């Protein structure tokens, strides 16, 4: 299996780990009840062994939800930021960023605001930023990827957390195993996180931060 770079670890592996975590802690409680002692390293290995193959599913789910979100928003965050600068300062940065792209892709990126395709410009800007690995852009890109991908698998994450929580509550009702309370806290935390933190507005904010980072970086490059 290919090694995961920092973007893969944050944007793809982290959401997969959060989906699988309730299953692993629930399995730990059930196995321990039957006096099968397994070191924590076994469960950590299980967590990663299951999560890593799921990264492609996480990525595809994120891309599917992204298409819907961009349609609802009226475009990608980067295209929206380029087309509708918030103020004169943003307008100046956007203009300089577009000039930088025009110098790189003169046959694709026209400068005339009335005719150029902002989505094409946004796609080129994002691709150029990723290729050159700007330190300014990379963290925001990973943050947006994480928010988008987590939102793409939000329903599955909630279903798994609720299912594991029900199993643990039934289990503790009949056994009153104190170890179950720790697992219940972990699963409850993941459930609350999926419900509260993984929202469309979170993805939008992360997308806006990424768009602004790309524009600032392009504007700072020599033309």
Kindly tell me the burial class for residue 222, based on how many C-beta atoms sit within 10 Å of its own C-beta (0-12, 13-18, 19 or more).
exposed
Q: Is residue 1 part of a domain?
A: no
Q: How many domains does the chain have?
A: 1
Average per-residue pLDDT for the chain: 84
Q: Token pair 């670890």 is at which residue? A: 9
pLDDT band at 136 (very low <50, low <70, confident <90, very high): confident
Looking at residue 111, what is its pLDDT? 57
What is residue 200's predicted lDDT score, i.e. its pLDDT? 97
Angle at 37 between CA 31 and CA 43, to 5 degrees: 70
Q: In this predicted structure, what is the pLDDT of residue 127?
A: 78
Nearest CA-CA partner of 81 in 210, 203, 220, 201:
210
Does residue 82 sit within a domain?
yes
Structure token digits, residue 93: 């940065």
Percent of the chain whose predicted confidence (pLDDT) is above 90: 35
For range 166-192, the mean pLDDT = 87
Whole-model pTM?
A: 0.85
Percent of residues in the chain assigned helix, strand, coil, to nearest 5: 80, 0, 20
Instruction: Write phi, then psi, for 194 (nearest 5 degrees).
Output: -60, -40
| Residue 83 resides in a domain | yes
Q: How much is the pLDDT for 137?
A: 85
Domain assignment present for residue 138? The answer is yes
> Domain of 92?
6-220
Angular region, 133: left φ>0, alpha ψ -120 to 50, beta rest? left
Lowest-confidence region among 2-6, 24-28, 94-98, 173-177: 2-6
Output the pLDDT for position 192: 97
Asked if residue 46 is part of any domain, the answer here is yes
For the chain, give the longest Cα–Cα distance. 72
Evaluate whether residue 118 is within a structural domain: yes
Question: How many residues are there in the chain?
Answer: 223
What are 3-21's pLDDT values in tens digits?
567 888 899 989 998 998 9
Residue 55 DSSP one-character state: H
| pLDDT tens for each residue of 100-121 | 888 878 876 655 554 346 777 7
> Tokens representing 209?
């931060």
């Amino acid at each position: 299996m290919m090694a995961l770079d920092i973007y893969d670890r944050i944007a793809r592996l982290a959401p997969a780990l959060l989906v699988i975590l309730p299953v692993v802690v629930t399995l730990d409680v059930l196995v321990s009840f039957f006096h099968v002692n397994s070191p924590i390293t076994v469960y950590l290995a299980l967590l990663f062994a299951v999560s890593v193959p799921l990264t492609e599913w996480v990525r595809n789910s994120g891309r599917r939800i992204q298409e819907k979100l961009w349609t609802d928003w009226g475009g990608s965050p980067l295209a929206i930021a380029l087309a509708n600068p918030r103020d004169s300062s943003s307008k100046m940065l956007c203009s300089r960023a577009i000039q930088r792209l025009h110098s790189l892709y003169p046959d694709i990126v026209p400068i005339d605001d009335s005719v150029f395709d902002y989505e094409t410009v946004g796609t080129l800007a994002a691709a150029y930023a990723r290729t050159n690995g700007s330190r300014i852009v990379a963290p925001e890109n990973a943050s947006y990827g994480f928010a988008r991908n987590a939102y793409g698998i939000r329903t599955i994450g909630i279903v798994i957390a609720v299912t594991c929580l029900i199993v643990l509550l039934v289990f503790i009702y009949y056994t009153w195993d104190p170890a179950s309370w720790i697992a219940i806290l972990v699963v409850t935390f993941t459930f609350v996180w999926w419900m509260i933190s993984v929202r469309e507005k979170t993805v939008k904010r992360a997308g806006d931060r990424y768009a602004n980072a790309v524009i600032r970086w392009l504007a700072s490059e020599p033309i």
